[in-house]
């Protein structure tokens, strides 16, 4: 298990905290050299975690860790990400995990143009641009993995009548961007099928127990509406070395784990961990 990703180079966006930092740790624990990407290198003024802290945690696994600071909503800045990662890691990217997202929750009526642009730049155009940058080298080598992290908010609400609970329609714009990400993931997987590059999307089945979600437990999120970070990460890393025929697919984390009979391991890639049931 410890060398599952040995000799591979991975790039993970949104890796300063939460799911992205956990994915990066699991890949490094599996032997991968990892480039971690976020908008700033140091701690946010009110959010936990930073690229510097993630880098320090990953360094303990003895693999190469590269840090790339870039704002994914800025086209010029994100154009430097893959080149910077390749330079620091010493070779082309084998695994791309598009995890970063801009989630601005408010009703779609009156949703400001600037916020729409930020949402789609981060959640749709950035994954597209990063994929465009890594795919040529993947095709040259005949092997590569692209995993796009989606959201259950991409699903449409059934009705009418509509019986929405909090946060209601405030996830609509964010969800529409994730729906676009899912459809593009499928299209890219179809186009690259048979050429060694797998492209898949995966979403949490329920809310992931990150630092932010923990603060809401007992308020708007019930314990049975949660999955652990380790469960979400297990589903992502499963798609980072999946079979050639697994491509162009869209998965829910817990469903994938159950269907594939996966053991959920800690972020060290070794220990088995007891998981909450959804």
Residue 111 a catalytic site member? no
Burial code (b: 16+ CB inside 10 Å, e: under 16) for 73-109 equals beeeebeebbebbbeebeebbbbbbbbbbbebebeee
Cα separation, 203 vs 172, whole angstroms: 16
Q: Which of 105, 120, 154 is nearest to 252 (CA)?
A: 154
Whole-number Å distance between alpha carbons of 29 and 63: 8
At 98, phi and psi to the nearest 5?
A: -90, 90
The token duo for 103 is 């989630």
Catalytic-labelled residue, pool 61, 105, 120, 174 = 174
What is the spatial distance between Cα 206 and Cα 228, in angstroms, rounded to a whole number? 9
**Distance between CA atoms of residues 120 and 137, nearest Å:** 26
Structure tokens at 174: 């964010």
Q: Are 101 and 121 in contact (CB under 8 A)?
A: no
Q: Which residues contact 257 (CB under 8 A, 6 or more apart)?
A: 231, 234, 235, 238, 264
CB of 12 closer than 8 Å to CB of 27: yes
- Catalytic sites, residue numbers: 174
């Amino acid at each position: 298990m410890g060398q599952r990703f040995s000799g591979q180079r991975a790039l993970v966006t949104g890796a300063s905290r939460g799911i992205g930092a956990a994915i990066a740790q699991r890949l490094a624990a599996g032997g991968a050299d990892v480039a971690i990407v976020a908008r700033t290198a140091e701690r946010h003024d009110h959010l936990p975690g930073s690229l510097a802290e993630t880098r320090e945690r990953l360094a303990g696994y003895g693999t190469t860790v590269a840090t790339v600071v870039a704002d994914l909503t800025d086209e010029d800045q994100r154009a430097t990400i893959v080149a910077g990662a390749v330079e620091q890691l010493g070779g082309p990217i084998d695994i791309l995990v598009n995890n970063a997202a801009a989630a601005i929750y408010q009703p779609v009526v009156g949703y400001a143009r600037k916020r729409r642009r930020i949402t789609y730049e981060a959640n749709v155009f950035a994954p597209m641009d990063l994929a465009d940058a890594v795919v040529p080298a993947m095709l040259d080598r005949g092997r590569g993995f692209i995993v796009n992290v989606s959201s259950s908010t991409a699903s449409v609400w059934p009705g009418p009548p509509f019986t929405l609970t909090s946060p209601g329609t405030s996830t609509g714009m964010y969800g529409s961007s994730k729906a676009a990400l899912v459809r593009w993931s499928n299209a890219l997987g179809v186009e690259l099928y048979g050429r060694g590059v797998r492209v898949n999307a995966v979403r949490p089945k329920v809310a992931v127990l990150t630092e932010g979600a923990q603060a809401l437990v007992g308020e708007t999120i019930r314990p049975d509406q949660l999955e652990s970070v380790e469960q979400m990460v297990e589903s992502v890393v499963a798609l980072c070395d999946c079979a050639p025929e697994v491509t162009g697919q869209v998965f829910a984390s817990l469903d994938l784990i159950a269907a594939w009979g996966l053991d959920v391991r800690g972020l060290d890639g070794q220990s088995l961990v007891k998981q909450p049931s959804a």
